């Protein structure tokens, strides 16, 4: 239930719970209000008389259901007194008080321990603990409540500048997130001590329902993201003629690439992007995910606007990162250990038409048990040789030809990972999980390359190509010309002229595109995750990044992220379980070849 009580006051309970977090509305206490609002059961009030009546009504129902009920009041201290006249960053004050019940004291102890365990911009908390004094003048509301356990929390407004008006946004977000998590740990201790619940994690007591503001923002951000196709916008449409021109010049003259005219008004979409209100989510976790996604979309829009300029390369570096020395060394090591002769490439090439038939069969197999898996396939003349997924579409270059034994591996990559996570993400209720959390592409490509290995389709040729992309990206970022990189691929690493051209085109498109380094980086991330005992299950739920794994676990525990509706077919492929076990026991990319 969600009751608007007027002038900002509100009662919100998203499911029956044995607690409520309350806050008296004060203009200067924005962080405390945000802390209270982030909880699954909260009350924002203006007058104590109104609040006491509401709390009594809620408590009666919850005590009848659970046998006990905890009221937690969150407030801010008037000033950050410990910071006055300080030459160094001092501690900051937090007051905690609880009633005498063992369950309330357990909540206090757990909250205090959690607060002390977090870093708030180098300032350590100085906690004072007390027992709630009954009806003390100027005391918090919970000191006037009887009949159930209570906990009071008041923290110094360290997110405000000394003038009392200016706010440090990053510090405010950090304070709110830390306080919300600490309170949930206190609540978990309370319910365990009371014997009424035994949650697997304190986060399971968090919000399980997102409000309409989140839904509207999710839709609005998705509309901006869908207003342009990032990969198609930066992919040349004349790859074949460009290669012919390059070959005619003796592989010396920089080829002229042509691009699709932009159909998006970049400035207009940026204005729309930043007009979306992310300040009223009442959920720090979701708010942070959408802020990260907004910044990523902003960078993508900036990149397509800077196409064919030097700025494109630097914006790409900001979006995907540079090539770290360890990754470059790993790529060079793979090429050194996997040298092959061109004559070693197996015969039996199949055309794009045959690939399309296999793709249709695989999509139909996914659709047999999942009617929503309605991916579309397009044969395109305006793509370099290869395949790509954009949204719910699989695009296949008409000139594409691959060895027959590689078809299942490539389709498991594109359909079994990229399309599968799109449709699973679509079932989550928020479009964010189908369009992708910020930075998701690295892990996605790592999973997709792993899929090739799990079906027994990883070859030396394929792994060398993935490694060579890293080296080409590093050369491009260091200022090497297209011809220099192309020559290195042919002369130093043994690629054919056509393969080297396609590889170099991918890296130099748009003005310098560093994205291709993420395939090998993502593979290392997923192999390390498996070796550490991590599960792949959360990664099938949508398009997420490795850095979001703890967030995904929290959203799952809160019920905001559903288990994947569709699982990859390649996991049940003959030999896949054994290969996955090998990966869990520790596997290097070179060990994946023909395993």
Q: Look at the block and give the residue holding tokens 């170099």.
A: 504
Judge whether 466 lies within some domain.
yes
| Among 507, 515, 502, 519, residue whose Cα is nearest residue 481 | 507
Q: Look at the block and give the residue holding tokens 């205090």.
A: 112
Q: Look at the block and give the residue holding tokens 């009806």.
A: 135
Beta pairing class for 19-24 and 349-351 = unpaired
Q: Tokens in use for 17?
A: 């719970």
For the cut 70, the answer to whether the pLDDT of residue 346 exceeds it is no
| Among 162, 155, 208, 196, residue whose Cα is nearest residue 178 | 155
Q: Tokens in use for 182?
A: 């600490």
Q: Which residues are CB-neighbours of 487 under 8 A, at least 6 positions away?
A: 251
Asked if 75 contacts 32 with a C-beta cutoff of 8 angstroms, the reply is: yes
Judge whether 290 lies within some domain.
no
Distance of CA 293 to the CA centre of its chain: 8
- Residue 40 is part of which domain span? 2-206
What SS3 class is residue 574? coil
Q: Look at the block and give the residue holding tokens 């997709």.
A: 448
pLDDT tens-digit series, residues 225-259: 999 999 999 999 999 999 999 999 999 999 999 99
Residues 186 and 249 in one domain: no
Asked if 379 contacts 396 with a C-beta cutoff of 8 angstroms, the reply is: yes
What SS3 class is residue 155? strand
Residues 330 and 386 in one domain: yes
Residues 36 and 182 in one domain: yes
DSSP state of 132: P
Residues 82 and 177 in one domain: yes
Residues 201 and 233 in one domain: no
Q: What pLDDT shows up at residue 28?
A: 85
Q: How far apart are the first and last CA of the chain?
A: 55
Query: Which run of H or E residues covers position 54?
Result: helix 48-66
Q: What is the largest CA-CA distance in the chain?
A: 91
Q: What pLDDT shows up at residue 89?
A: 66
Between CA 170 and CA 229 the distance in angstroms is 32
Between CA 172 and CA 160 the distance in angstroms is 8
Residues 234 and 202 in one domain: no
For the domain that residue 188 is a member of, what is the CATH number?
3.40.630
E strand segments, 334-411: 349-351, 376-380, 387-390, 393-397, 401-403
How would DSSP label each residue in 179-234? HHHHHHHHHHHHHHHHTS---SSGGGGS-----HHHHHHHHHHHHHHTTS-HHHHT
Judge whether 392 lies within some domain.
yes
How many other C-beta atoms lie within 10 A of the C-beta of residue 154? Answer: 19
Cα-based angle 371, 372, 375 (whole degrees, multiple of 5): 110
Judge whether 375 lies within some domain.
yes
pLDDT tens-digit series, residues 194-220: 999 999 999 999 999 888 999 999 999
Residues 189 and 256 in one domain: no
Judge whether 220 lies within some domain.
no
Judge whether 284 lies within some domain.
no
Between CA 139 and CA 90 the distance in angstroms is 26
What's the mean per-residue pLDDT of the chain?
92
Q: What pLDDT shows up at residue 138?
A: 57
- Which of 81-95, 168-182, 199-213, 435-449 is predicted with the least confidence, judged by mean pLDDT? 81-95
Mean pLDDT for 454-464 is 95
Is the sign of the CA dihedral 189, 193, 195, 196 positive or negative? Answer: negative
Residues 198 and 156 in one domain: yes
Q: Tokens in use for 322?
A: 């540079």
13 - beta bridge partners?
A: 41
Distance of CA 19 to the CA centre of its chain: 30
Residues present in the chain in total: 595
Mean pLDDT for 124-131 is 84
Residues 556 and 491 in one domain: yes
Asked if 75 contacts 140 with a C-beta cutoff of 8 angstroms, the reply is: yes
Q: Look at the block and give the residue holding tokens 């290869």.
A: 386
Asked if 405 contacts 346 with a C-beta cutoff of 8 angstroms, the reply is: yes
**135 confidence band (pLDDT: 50, 70, 90):** very low
Residues 249 and 197 in one domain: no
Can you give 469-521 as a three-state secondary structure string? Answer: HHHHHHHHHCCCCHHHHHHHHHHCCCCCHHHHHHHHHHHHHHHCCHHHHHHHH
Beta pairing class for 92-98 and 41-45 = unpaired
For the cut 90, the answer to whether the pLDDT of residue 447 exceeds it is yes
Residues 115 and 239 in one domain: no
Judge whether 281 lies within some domain.
no
Residues 361 and 437 in one domain: yes
Q: Tokens in use for 256?
A: 């002229």
Cα-based angle 120, 25, 108 (whole degrees, multiple of 5): 50
For the cut 80, the answer to whether the pLDDT of residue 86 exceeds it is no
pLDDT tens-digit series, residues 368-409: 988 889 999 999 999 988 999 999 999 999 989 999 999 999
Q: How many domains does the chain have?
A: 2
Asked if 150 contacts 116 with a C-beta cutoff of 8 angstroms, the reply is: no
Q: Tokens in use for 90?
A: 């001092």
């Amino acid at each position: 239930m969600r009751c608007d009580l007027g002038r900002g006051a509100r009662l919100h309970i998203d499911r029956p719970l044995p607690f409520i977090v309350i806050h008296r509305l004060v203009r200067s206490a924005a962080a405390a209000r945000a802390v209270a609002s982030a909880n699954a059961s909260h009350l924002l009030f203006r007058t104590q008389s109104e609040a006491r009546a509401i709390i009594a009504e809620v408590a009666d129902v919850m005590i009848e259901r659970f046998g006990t009920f905890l009221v937690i009041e969150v407030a801010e201290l008037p000033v950050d007194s410990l910071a006055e006249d300080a030459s160094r960053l001092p501690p900051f004050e937090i007051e905690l008080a609880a009633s005498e019940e063992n369950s309330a004291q357990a909540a206090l102890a757990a909250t205090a321990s959690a607060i002390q365990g977090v870093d708030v911009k180098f300032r350590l908390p100085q906690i004072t603990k007390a027992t709630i004094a009954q009806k003390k003048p100027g005391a918090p509301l919970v000191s006037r409540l009887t009949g159930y356990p209570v906990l009071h929390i008041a923290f110094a407004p360290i997110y405000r500048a000394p003038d009392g008006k200016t706010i440090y946004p990053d510090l405010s977000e950090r304070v709110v997130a830390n306080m919300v998590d600490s309170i949930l740990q206190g609540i978990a201790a309370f319910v365990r001590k009371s014997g009424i619940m035994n949650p697997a994690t304190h986060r399971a007591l968090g919000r399980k329902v997102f409000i309409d503001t989140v839904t509207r923002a999710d839709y609005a951000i998705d509309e901006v993201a869908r207003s342009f196709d990032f990969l198609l916008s930066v992919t040349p449409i004349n790859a074949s003629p460009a290669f012919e021109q390059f070959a005619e010049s003796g592989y010396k003259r920089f080829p002229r690439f042509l691009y699709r005219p932009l159909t998006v008004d970049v400035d207009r979409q940026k204005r729309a992007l930043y007009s979306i209100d992310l300040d009223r989510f009442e959920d720090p976790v979701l708010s942070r995910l959408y802020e990260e996604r907004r910044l990523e979309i902003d960078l993508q829009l900036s990149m397509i606007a800077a196409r064919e300029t030097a700025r494109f390369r630097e914006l790409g570096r900001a979006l995907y990162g540079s090539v770290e020395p360890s990754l470059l060394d790993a790529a060079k090591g793979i090429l050194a250990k996997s040298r092959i002769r061109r004559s070693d490439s197996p015969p039996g090439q199949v055309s794009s038409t045959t690939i399309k038939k296999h793709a249709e069969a695989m999509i139909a197999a996914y659709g047999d048990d999942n009617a929503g898996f309605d991916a579309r396939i397009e044969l395109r003349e305006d793509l370099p040789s290869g395949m790509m997924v954009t949204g719910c579409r699989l695009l296949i270059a008409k000139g594409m030809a691959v060895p027959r034994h590689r078809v299942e591996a490539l389709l498991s990559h594109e359909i079994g990972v990229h399309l599968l996570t799109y449709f699973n993400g679509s079932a989550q209720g928020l479009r964010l999980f189908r369009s992708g959390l910020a930075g998701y592409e690295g892990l996605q490509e790592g999973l997709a390359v792993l899929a090739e290995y799990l079906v027994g389709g990883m070859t030396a040729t394929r792994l060398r190509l993935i490694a060579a992309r890293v080296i080409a990206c590093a050369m491009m970022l260091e200022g090497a010309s297209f011809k220099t990189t192309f020559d290195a691929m042919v002369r130093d690493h043994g690629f054919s002229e056509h393969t080297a051209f396609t590889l170099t085109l991918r890296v130099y498109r748009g003005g310098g595109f560093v994205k291709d380094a993420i395939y090998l980086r993502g593979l290392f991330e997923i192999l390390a995750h498996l070796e550490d005992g991590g599960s792949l299950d959360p990664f099938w739920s949508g398009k997420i990044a490795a850095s979001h794994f703890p967030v995904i676990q929290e959203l799952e525990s809160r019920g905001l992220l559903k288990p994947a509706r569709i699982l990859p077919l390649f996991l049940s492929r003959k030999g896949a379980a054994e290969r996955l076990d090998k990966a869990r026991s520790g596997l290097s990319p070179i060990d994946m070849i023909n395993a």
